[in-house]
C-alpha cells in the first residue's frame, strides 16, 4: 500500500512538474514573472520531494529485506587470496632453496632475499575482489 501511495505521489508530482502553473493578475492577464517564480519554486520543491521519496523507498526496502548479503567470494572483506601464489605473497628461490645464500655467499639468483615476490599480487598475497 505504501509503495502504491508513493507511486501515485510521484506520478502526480511529475505531471505538475511538466505542466507547471499559470498565475493571473487581477485583470485576468497572465503574470509572467509570478508564473516563472511559482514554477521555479514548484520544481525545486518537487525535486526535493522526489529525492526524499527515493531515500524513503530505499530505507523501506532495506528495513524489509535487511542489508545486502556479503560477497560470496570475499565474505565482505573486499579481497581474495591470490591464486597464483596461493596467498603466500611470493615464491622461494629454486637456486638456494629459499635460504638466500649458497656456499656461504649471497645467492646470485635472488640477491640474498631467498625468494621473489609474486608478480600477480605484488607480494601482498591477496587481490581486490571484483564482485
pLDDT at 129 exceeding the cut of 80: yes
> Looking at residue 54, what is its pLDDT?
74
Average pLDDT over the chain reads 78
pLDDT at residue number 40:
80
Mean pLDDT of 70-91: 86
Predicted local distance difference test score (pLDDT) of residue 12:
57
- Looking at mean pLDDT, say which of 29-33, 49-53, 69-73, 122-126 comes out highest: 122-126
Confidence band for 8, pLDDT divided at 50, 70 and 90: low
pLDDT tens per residue, range 26-58: 888 888 887 788 778 777 777 777 777 777 777
Q: pLDDT band at residue 19, thresholds of 50, 70 and 90?
A: low
Q: What is the DSSP string of the chain?
A: -HHHHHHHHHHHHHHHHHH----B-TTS-B-HHHHHHHHHHHHHHHHHHHHHHHHHHHHHHHHHH-SPPPPTTTTTSSEEE-TTTTTSSEEE-TTTTTSSEETTEE-TTTTTSSEEE-TTTTTSSEEE---
Amino acid at each position: 500500500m505504501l509503495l502504491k501511495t508513493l507511486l501515485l505521489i510521484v506520478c502526480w508530482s511529475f505531471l505538475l512538474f511538466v505542466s507547471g502553473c499559470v498565475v493571473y493578475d487581477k485583470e485576468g492577464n497572465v503574470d509572467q514573472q509570478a508564473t516563472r517564480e511559482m514554477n521555479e519554486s514548484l520544481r525545486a520543491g518537487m525535486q526535493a520531494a522526489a529525492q526524499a521519496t527515493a531515500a524513503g523507498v530505499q530505507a523501506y526496502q532495506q528495513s524489509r529485506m535487511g542489508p545486502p548479503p556479503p560477497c560470496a567470494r570475499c565474505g565482505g572483506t573486499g579481497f581474495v587470496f591470490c591464486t597464483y601464489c596461493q596467498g603466500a605473497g611470493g615464491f622461494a628461490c629454486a637456486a638456494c632453496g629459499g635460504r638466500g645464500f649458497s656456499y656461504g655467499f649471497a645467492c646470485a639468483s635472488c640477491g640474498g632475499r631467498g625468494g621473489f615476490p609474486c608478480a600477480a599480487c605484488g607480494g601482498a598475497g591477496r587481490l581486490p575482489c571484483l564482485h
